């Protein structure tokens, strides 16, 4: 049984899947299997994935029409045999060749059921920002105030297969609801203060505006029956307040940026310093 099952979902992204595969091939730690769930690509994606012929390593390649990304991720869980699951979709890659080796020490000693690391956000091959959620707070996730880097999270396989699945009809935030449900049932993560993945931000989920997840989180709490203060009405009011706060902050930052661009204030001005 491999230590890690790396599950990659792909559809017509031959450039992305090559980037993902290259990062796996160059890992110094090789106790993993690669599960590729392809939605019936018509480009060279399947050919590229199939080109890797690992020795003494399990690889599963499924290429057929499916019901979307989260259906494919659930299929990947079913196909996996590893002790831990890492969802690394096409276009995303392991941050450095030492990451899996460093994770090995955590995964084989922790008594927790999931591990949380950090992402480097990339455009193509160029990192430009970071994403992390240290320290983890279930309340922040539940309110939609903080998004957890799903590509930098590993989950005990037996806990996922036991009862946790991706909801296939809730949109691009299903990965956040998966983490929310997992954390509610299985506790807080072991925090791994390193970059695990380079996350390609061209994906659908990366294009949502900052207030979008606050509204989604309201629906997420409703599905679980876990309202703030056990009150649907108070939960709705809190959602409206938080959503408005985020929107006002965005508008204020935009206003100050416009002022700076127009020369009304600078880092040396009295207005800025006060």
Q: What gap in Å lies between CA 150 and CA 63, rounded to an integer?
A: 24
For residue range 21-66, list pLDDT tens digits in order. Answer: 999 999 999 999 999 999 999 999 999 999 998 887 899 999 999 8
Residue 269 has pLDDT above 70, yes or no: no
Q: What is the mean pLDDT of residues 124-150?
A: 86
Within a 10 A sphere around the Cβ of 124, how many other Cβ atoms? 12
Alpha carbon distances (Å) from 176 to 148, 170, 172, 180: 7, 11, 9, 6
Residue 267 has pLDDT above 80, yes or no: no
List, in order, residues 6 or more apart from 245 with CB less than 8 Å away: none
Average pLDDT in the chain: 88
Q: What gap in Å lies between CA 86 and CA 260, rounded to an integer?
A: 43
Percent of the chain with pLDDT over 70: 91
Q: Which domains does the chain have, with CATH numbers?
A: 4-206 (3.90.550.10), 232-273 (no CATH)
Strands (E), 88-239: 93-94, 114-123, 126-131, 153-156, 190-200
Q: Which residue has the tokens 């955590």?
A: 106
Tell the burial category of 259 from Cβ atoms under 10 Å away from its Cβ (0-12, 13-18, 19+).
middle
pLDDT-wise least confident of 13-22, 122-131, 155-164, 180-189: 122-131
Residue 167 has pLDDT above 90, yes or no: yes
Question: What pLDDT does residue 255 have?
Answer: 79
Cβ 216 vs Cβ 259: under 8 Å = no
Does the global pTM surpass 0.75? yes
């Amino acid at each position: 049984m491999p230590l890690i099952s790396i599950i990659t979902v792909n559809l017509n992204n031959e450039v992305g899947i090559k980037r993902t595969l290259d990062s796996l091939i160059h890992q110094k730690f090789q106790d993993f299997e690669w599960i590729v769930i392809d939605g019936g690509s018509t480009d060279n994606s399947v050919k590229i994935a199939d080109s890797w012929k690992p020795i003494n390593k399990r690889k599963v390649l499924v290429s057929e029409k499916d019901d979307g990304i989260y259906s494919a991720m659930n299929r990947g869980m079913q196909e996996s045999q590893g002790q831990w699951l890492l969802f690394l979709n096409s276009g995303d890659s392991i941050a450095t060749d030492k990451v899996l080796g460093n994770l090995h020490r955590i995964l084989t000693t922790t008594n927790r059921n999931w591990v949380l690391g950090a992402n480097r956000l990339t455009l193509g091959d160029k990192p430009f920002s970071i994403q992390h959620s240290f320290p983890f707070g279930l309340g922040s996730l539940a309110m939609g105030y903080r998004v957890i880097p799903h590509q930098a999270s590993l989950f005990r396989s037996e806990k996922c297969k036991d009862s946790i699945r991706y909801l296939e009809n809730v949109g691009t935030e299903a990965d956040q609801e998966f983490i929310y449900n997992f954390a509610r049932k299985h506790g807080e993560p072991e925090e791994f203060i390193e970059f695990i993945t380079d996350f390609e931000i061209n994906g659908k989920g990366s294009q949502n505006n900052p207030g979008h997840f606050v509204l989604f989180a309201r629906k997420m709490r409703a599905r679980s029956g876990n309202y703030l203060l056990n009150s649907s009405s108070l939960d709705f009011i809190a959602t409206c307040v938080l959503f408005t706060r985020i929107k006002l902050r965005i508008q204020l930052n935009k206003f100050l940026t416009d002022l700076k661009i127009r020369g009304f204030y600078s880092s040396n001005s009295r207005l800025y310093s006060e």
